[in-house]
Amino acid sequence: MLRLTRLVIGSAAVFLGGVLLAQAPKDYSDGYFPLKPKTKWTYKVQDQNIEVVVAGTEKVGTDECTKVDTLVNGKVVASELYTVRVDGVYRVKVKDDKIDPPVKVLQLPVKKGDSWDVKSKVGTQQVSGTFKLKDDKAKLKIMDKDVEAVHVEGAELDVAGTKTTVQMWFVKDKGIVKLSYKIQEAVSDLELTKFDAPAGPTN
């Protein structure tokens, strides 16, 4: 179980890192990423809790990025940078490794059936495949509430030579509420169990 947990967290570090997404100076995100500093998400994967915190901002080239830290047992295990452009949400950097080119994790504006290719390098790791927006009104239960979510799937992605399928569910005003990973034959889910947002406007 420990090995599977490490694989899931490692795969998340390649694609999503802190599994949260950044906010641009202009709100291109259609409300799916209302992030402010100190916003915190708590996810459960098997018997492990993972916390994700918006930790600040940083500029990379012409992109205004948001820094997101992922914590396990109170310790930062990953830090990533994300930016929102007119056409989507991009992951720009993980730790000290620039993602070249940045990986788009959500096409904007949201439209069922849209797909986009990914072919990037993260450090020495190659990442390639195709994401598809499978549903813009998916039904699921999160934190004992019925919600309507945008469902994105990256099927049979190649992550450093390992076949990985990633599914993500986005909810307005919450960001990512659920992730599902299939790494070779091992399957694991991360699900939002707590959401803490600072009071006040999100922009």
Residue 132 belongs to a domain:
yes
Each residue's pLDDT tens digit, 160-181: 899 999 999 999 988 999 999 8
Structural domain boundaries, residue 103: 2-195
Residue 101 belongs to a domain:
yes
Question: Does 30 score more than 70 pLDDT?
Answer: no
CATH of the domain at 93: 2.40.360
Q: Does pTM surpass 0.85?
A: no
* pLDDT classification of 202: cutoffs 50, 70, 90: very low
Strand 75-85 and strand 88-94: the pairing is antiparallel
pLDDT at 22: 42
Residue 96 belongs to a domain:
yes
Residue 201 belongs to a domain:
no
Residue 70 belongs to a domain:
yes
Burial class (CB in 10 A: 0-12, 13-18, 19+), 147: middle
Each residue's pLDDT tens digit, 91-132: 999 888 889 999 998 998 999 999 999 999 988 889 999 999
Number of domains into which the chain is organized: 1
Is 5 or 102 the better-scoring residue by pLDDT?
102
Residue 64 belongs to a domain:
yes
Each residue's pLDDT tens digit, 46-84: 889 999 999 999 988 888 899 999 999 999 999 999 888
Listing DSSP states for 8-36 in one string gives: HHHHHHHHTTTT-----SS-TTTTS----
Residue 200 belongs to a domain:
no
pLDDT at 23: 42
Residue 36 belongs to a domain:
yes
